Chain A
Amino acid sequence: MKRQLPVLLMAFLCTCVPVTFAHHSYQAEFDATKCVDVKGTLTKVDWDNPHIYFYMDAADTTGKVGSWTFEGHSLPALQRNGTHRVDFVQNIGKVLTVRACMAKNGGLRAAAETITTPDGRVHVVGVDVEHGQSAPQDSYRAHTNN
């Protein structure tokens, strides 16, 4: 099978606008101020709850290829937003761009916000913290404060 070479990782760290939600699960695991664009080749998707996981090979600025793990929404959240397993499966082996915020644990692990598929569509596949979104449980926590 012809496999596309991993493409340059554009992992430029941005100075994201801090999101003003208080204690919540997202913030415990991921850093909403360290969000990156990662361009690479989609290798696999785990279509599971409570989060999907998908994996991508991408090269860093030195050309070294690494395997990234991205966490996304739950399946019902994806499905109700119009994103389905086929949107991932039909793009395995193809080059995608993922916008994601890095895990506090380090490594090539991040919470995906959006993916841009080769047809130019942008799918919201996770908590889009840079546009003011919060995870469902985070919404609850933010406004229950207990």
Chain B
Amino acid sequence: MKLRLGYYAAGAAALALALLPAPVNIHAAQNYAGENADLKPLPKGGPTPRTADGHPDLSGVWFHGLVGKTVEGRLPASLREFDPKEEDPPPFQPWAAEKLKMSDVKVELGRASVNCLPRGVPGMFLINPYPIQLIQTPGQLVQLDELNNNWRVIPLDGHPHTKDADPTFNGEGIGHWDGDTLVIDVTGIDERTWNNFTGWFHSDEEHVIERLRRPDRNHLDYQVTIEDPKVLSKPWTSSVRHWSLGREPLLEYYCTHNEEVNQYKELDQKQTQSGKTDSPR
């Protein structure tokens, strides 16, 4: 009996290894770094893993796009996160659209990355080119972001929001299951966050509904609806953003030295003095 169990265990281990994407040694010597990158989309890798209570287990280290890794600047559009043709532009109210007409340099000066600020929610999915790790327990989902060593803990019991909650970058996110979809309802998001790279600001009334699915072992789907009656003329729903299971651990990322702010301030000053700005949006 022990022997048979051993065979089963060995077989299960072999199957588990076969289902995993190929391991990556980030210290491997390469003559031209990145040249050997394998850019094949990951296979399904097996059925959706489930926790003891039957819900999908979203745990894993997830990379945006379909190849299960970050390949700096070399990810072809077909392997990236989503097809922009499947997504409508944000329906800004006229005053908000007018406010968004600013030069490239002014946009840069407001960006979270230039100011070493957190992306917030839903930025940690929508505008985050770095991997995340999800750790699911029976009552909580923990999200770790490599970018800025950011994190959030989401209770999964669907309880009501706190009345007049203080704003935070990641907001107050409360999850519940809708079938195999984890729905995270988020309010109280700090108004310093943007929803995209180019200035999509929001009000204190922003309400974000995130939907997470794990359709198979190697893939995570994310879709978000943003309601903001002060800024948008109607709710906006993103296309489904695809993330894929990686085998590399998260790395440390503290934003400690960014000279871009001063560079952009100088450029902005020069453009203001000369009266020649780059293309306003």
Binding site for B on A (CB under 8 A): 23, 25, 27-29, 46, 48-51, 53, 71, 73-77, 79-84, 103-105, 121-124, 127-128, 132-137, 139-141, 143-146
Contact A53 B257 (CB under 8 A): yes
Q: Residues of B contacting A137 with CB < 8 Å?
A: 111, 113, 127, 129, 197
B66-74, B168-176, B177-185 - interface stretch: B66-74
Q: Is B47 located at the chain interface by the 8 A CB criterion?
A: no
Contact B196 A144 (CB under 8 A): yes
Contact B90 A50 (CB under 8 A): no
Contact A80 B73 (CB under 8 A): no
Contact A141 B253 (CB under 8 A): no
Q: Is B55 located at the chain interface by the 8 A CB criterion?
A: no
Q: Residues of A contacting B90 with CB < 8 Å?
A: 146
A107 to chain B, nearest CB (A): 10
Contact B257 A49 (CB under 8 A): yes
A122 to B35: give the CA distance in the assembly, Å: 11
Q: Given that A81-B33, A121-B31 are known contacts, is A140 also in contact with B129, CB under 8 Å in the complex? A: yes
The interface residues of chain A, by DSSP majority, are classed as: mixed
A146 to B204: give the CA distance in the assembly, Å: 21
Q: Is B18 located at the chain interface by the 8 A CB criterion?
A: no
The interface residues of chain B, by DSSP majority, are classed as: loop
Closest 5 CB pairs of A and B: A133-B73, A136-B129, A48-B257, A81-B33, A28-B104
Q: Is B190 located at the chain interface by the 8 A CB criterion?
A: no
Contact B129 A139 (CB under 8 A): yes
Q: Which of A51, A79, A82 contacts B251 (CB 8 A)?
A: A79
Q: Given that A29-B267, A144-B197, A146-B90 are known contacts, is A80 also in contact with B259, CB under 8 Å in the complex? A: no
Q: Is B89 located at the chain interface by the 8 A CB criterion?
A: yes
A145 to B83: give the CA distance in the assembly, Å: 11
Contact A105 B267 (CB under 8 A): yes
Closest to A142 in B: B77
A48 to B116: give the CA distance in the assembly, Å: 12
Q: Is B84 located at the chain interface by the 8 A CB criterion?
A: yes
B228 to chain A, nearest CB (A): 14
